[in-house]
Structure 1
Amino acid sequence: MDLLVKRAQKGDAEAFIRLIEKHKISMYKAAKSYLKNEEDVADVMQDTVLSAFEHIRELKHTGYFKTWITRILINHCLDMLKQEKRCVPVEWTERESAEVQDKDRAFYELLEELSEDYRIIFLLYYGEGFCVREIAELLEMNENTVKSKLRRGRKKLEQVLCLKERSV
């Protein structure tokens, strides 16, 4: 991975494309957690790829490529939400990307029970494997805040699951 990043920083477009291919699913999931509309998600992903390509030489530590590109993506999502002055809850529909596997669908449906600020933290932590420190950096919040939101979100999801078990 570091080698691909270094090659991309030297202007190797093929290496950059391979990096994007490797991360496109996680980028889609993160964008989808912010934006409802598939067209908006596509626009944000396109803007992210363009920004990353233009600024890849500015990435200081090659090992942080995923964190770096996710931060760019989140900034573009927030910019789009500000421009359109709307905050929409995520609704995973039958039209969702074919790349989101059936086994993941239950996870995303469960995430719907959380408010948006909890949802992105859960997606980054459980869905994408970011650690608490990385999430805090990405979302520009305190590590303890991330830990608290993870703990409160788990409690909320536990309550939801208990209610679903009782109703079955």
Structure 2
Amino acid sequence: MSVIPKKTGQSYKGVVDVDMLVMRARSKDKEAFVKLMELNMQSMYKVAKAYLKNDEDVADAIQDTILICYEKIGDLKKCKYFKTWMIRILINKCKDSLNLGKKIYFTDEILEVPVQEMDFDRMEFVELLKIVDEKYRTILLLYYLEGFNTREISEILELNEKTVQTRLSRGRDLFSKKYMMEMKGVGCR
């Protein structure tokens, strides 16, 4: 017997059981699917914004991702990989938009998140990510802000895990150097 109420997907402590929501969504429970999307909306926005320039294009990519996830969630083999699977779909949608020749560009603006949703250190980190090349920025974002490990990032970005580890290391070094230059007021652009 589960301690998670059927309609809310929350435990008695208010902690969301994502695996239970995924199982219910796979059974075409619309409320569970909506809750999953609500829980992941900020993550989807941050990832899409790292690829696409304006909010309209980001919204289109997220909307397409939600539709595909709803249609294909039954194909997901393991519930614990839901977020990885969803982010992979989102990245593919962003890349599709870029490849279609739409007026979409890589952006220096990572994201705009209301202040109450992020602490100051995270906001400063996100702001400083703008000065790092996109191939490092995406990996740093997924690793530090989204909590994915290098294996998961390699699956999401369809890169060799060693490549992800190398880019993570180089991205850290580049980030540190640029951070120090910013702190000294030298500028780094």
Deviations 1:113-147 (A, max 9, x none): 11111111011000100000000011111111001
TM-score (norm 1): 0.92
State the structure with bigger RCO (CA 8 A, min sep 6), 1 or 2.
1
- 1:88 aligned counterpart, secondary structure: coil
TM-score (norm 2): 0.82
Match of 2:97 among 80, 91, 96: 80
Match of 2:56 among 39, 49, 59: 39
> How far apart, CA to CA, are the structure 2 residues paired with 1:164 and 1:11?
50
Q: Which amino acid aligns with 2:29?
A: D
Deviation, 1:166, is 2.4
Tell me the equivalent position of 1:48.
Answer: 65
Q: Which has the larger radius of gyration?
A: 2
Deviation, 1:98, is 2.7
Q: Does 1:69 align with 2:91?
A: no
- Asked if structure 2 preserves the Cα contact closer than 8 Å seen for 1:5 and 1:15, the reply is yes
- Listed as ranges, the gaps of 5+ residues in structure 1 are none
Tell me the equivalent position of 1:5.
Answer: 22
Q: Which structure features the higher share of helix residues?
A: 1
RMSD: 1.9
- Listed as ranges, the gaps of 5+ residues in structure 2 are 1-17
- 1:84 aligned counterpart, secondary structure: coil
Could you tell me the percent identity over the aligned residues? 48
Q: Does 1:134 align with 2:152?
A: yes
Q: 1:87 to 1:118 in 2, by over 3 A?
A: farther
- Count of aligned pairs: 167
Q: Does 1:15 align with 2:49?
A: no
Match runs of 1:102-141 below 5 Å: 103=120, 104-141=122-159
Q: Which amino acid aligns with 1:119?
A: R
